[in-house]
């Protein structure tokens, strides 16, 4: 991430880096969560906690940025930038993220990765709708087309459940899991524009340090929310017993949960980084475009079936992504041409 004063080229480089971090999280996170369930794990609150429990890792880049500022500004450098107003807003969003992770963990325990990932692709639709109402972002015909295609893809997935259910999952649990993941996708899709709104209403310069501080507070609040759920469900007492009964062995059980927390943190840091350097919509677009990679990895590692319905839903998702991306490209080109014409007009008037 960047501090003030970096040029547009460096900003683009850092955007690409955050996209790569997001790619690790969105491709690896669902696979690690599914590995936990497939090999004997069953604690949903623990799985939820692991999605955001890696927040202390954020302290590493924060410490690096602090030392960098201290080297330039001296001992008078501020230790933190977050204000009470932004802190409270971050806590509220963090609790919502905690609820979203629980919905996703519950649904993910009942669905194959390929199905849950296709449902997560609908996040782009909800981010677009959220950006329209929260950020007053105008819809284009291309973005409307993308929303419709992704929604149709999700509906298509819900038509057929036979042959797609993991072993031991009832039809009722599968349907509830489907609904849970869908609502998780919808909620996080709306959360991203809310985070962007915090940047817009902050009444202070938004730096990479402040963005990381907001991310840390949100994940800490989400972790606290899930910790309460773990305590109520007695997950902490069950961890050692579950580890001993884990199909891959006790040592690998702890390896799985540690790496799950690390990889999921890549998702949240990457998502908020892309939102900072570009927009909430761009963050959702990156998630959508990475969908095929998650699909392929799920088929390779878990031997999941890839039915015709999934194939059509995947096609519709990719079509929706291309439609949105092309629309954004045309919009940016139109804006650039308009700016050039304005600049030429001003130059002409000044010369006269």
Report the C-alpha gap between 122 and 183 in whole angstroms. 10
Identity of the highest mean pLDDT range in 3-12, 104-113, 320-329: 104-113
Q: What is the pLDDT of residue 336?
A: 67
Average pLDDT over the chain, rounded to whole?
A: 85
Query: What's the half-sphere exposure (Cβ side, CA atoms, 13 Å) at 261?
Result: 17
Residue 121 predicted with pLDDT over 90: no
Q: What is the pLDDT of residue 77?
A: 84
pLDDT band at 146 (very low <50, low <70, confident <90, very high): confident
Average the pLDDT over each of 8-22, 29-43, 314-328, 332-346 and give the range with the smallest value. Answer: 332-346
Report the C-alpha gap between 50 and 222 in whole angstroms. 11
Q: Closest by alpha carbon to 291, among 185, 158, 176?
A: 185
Provide mean pLDDT across the span 261-281. Answer: 90
pLDDT in tens, 280-303: 878 887 887 787 778 778 888 888
Burial of 26 (0-12, 13-18, 19+ CB in 10 A): buried
Contact 226, 47 (CB under 8 A): no
Contact 218, 93 (CB under 8 A): yes
Contact 104, 30 (CB under 8 A): no
Residue 337 predicted with pLDDT over 70: no
Residue 342 predicted with pLDDT over 80: no
Residue 165 predicted with pLDDT over 80: no
Cα four-point dihedral sign 281, 137, 128, 148? negative
pLDDT in tens, 169-218: 888 898 899 899 999 999 998 999 999 999 999 888 888 899 999 999 99
pLDDT in tens, 214-230: 999 999 999 999 999 99
Q: What is the pLDDT of residue 160?
A: 57
Residue 304 predicted with pLDDT over 90: no
Q: What is the pLDDT of residue 1?
A: 43
Report the C-alpha gap between 275 and 313 in whole angstroms. 26
Report the C-alpha gap between 178 and 48 in whole angstroms. 17
Average the pLDDT over each of 45-54, 130-139, 320-329 and give the range with the smallest value. Answer: 320-329
Look at 3 and 256; give whichever has higher pLDDT: 256
């Amino acid at each position: 991430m960047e501090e003030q004063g970096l040029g547009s080229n460096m900003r683009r480089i850092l955007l690409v880096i955050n996209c790569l971090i997001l790619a690790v999280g969105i491709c690896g996170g669902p696979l690690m969560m599914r590995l936990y369930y497939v090999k004997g794990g069953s604690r949903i609150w623990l799985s939820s906690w692991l999605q955001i429990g890696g927040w202390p890792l954020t302290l590493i880049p924060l410490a690096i940025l602090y030392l960098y500022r201290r080297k330039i500004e001296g001992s008078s450098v501020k230790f933190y930038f977050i204000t009470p107003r932004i802190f409270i807003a971050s806590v509220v969003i963090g609790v919502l993220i905690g609820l979203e992770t629980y919905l996703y963990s519950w649904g993910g325990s009942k669905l194959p990765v390929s199905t849950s990932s296709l449902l997560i692709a609908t996040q782009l639709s909800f981010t677009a709708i959220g950006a329209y109402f929260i950020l007053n972002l105008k819809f284009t015909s291309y973005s409307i087309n993308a929303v419709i295609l992704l929604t149709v893809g999700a509906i298509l997935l819900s038509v057929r459940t036979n042959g797609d259910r993991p072993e031991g999952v009832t039809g009722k649990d599968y349907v509830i899991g489907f609904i849970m993941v869908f609502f998780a996708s919808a909620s996080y899709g709306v959360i991203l524009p809310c985070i962007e709104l915090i940047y817009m209403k902050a009444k202070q310069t938004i730096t990479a340090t402040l963005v990381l501080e907001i991310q840390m507070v949100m994940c800490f609040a989400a972790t606290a929310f899930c910790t309460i759920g773990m305590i109520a469900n007695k997950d902490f007492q069950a961890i050692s017993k579950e580890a001993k009964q884990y199909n891959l062995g006790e040592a690998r059980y702890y390896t799985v949960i540690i790496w799950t927390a690390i990889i999921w943190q890549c998702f949240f840091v990457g998502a908020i980084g892309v939102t900072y350097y570009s927009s909430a919509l761009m963050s959702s677009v990156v998630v959508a475009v990475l969908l095929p990679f998650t699909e392929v990895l799920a088929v390779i590692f878990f031997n999941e079936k890839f039915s015709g319905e999934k194939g059509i839903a995947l096609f519709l998702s990719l079509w929706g992504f291309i439609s949105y991306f092309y629309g954004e490209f045309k919009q940016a080109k139109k804006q650039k041409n308009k700016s050039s014409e304005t600049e030429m007009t001003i130059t002409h008037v000044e010369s006269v």
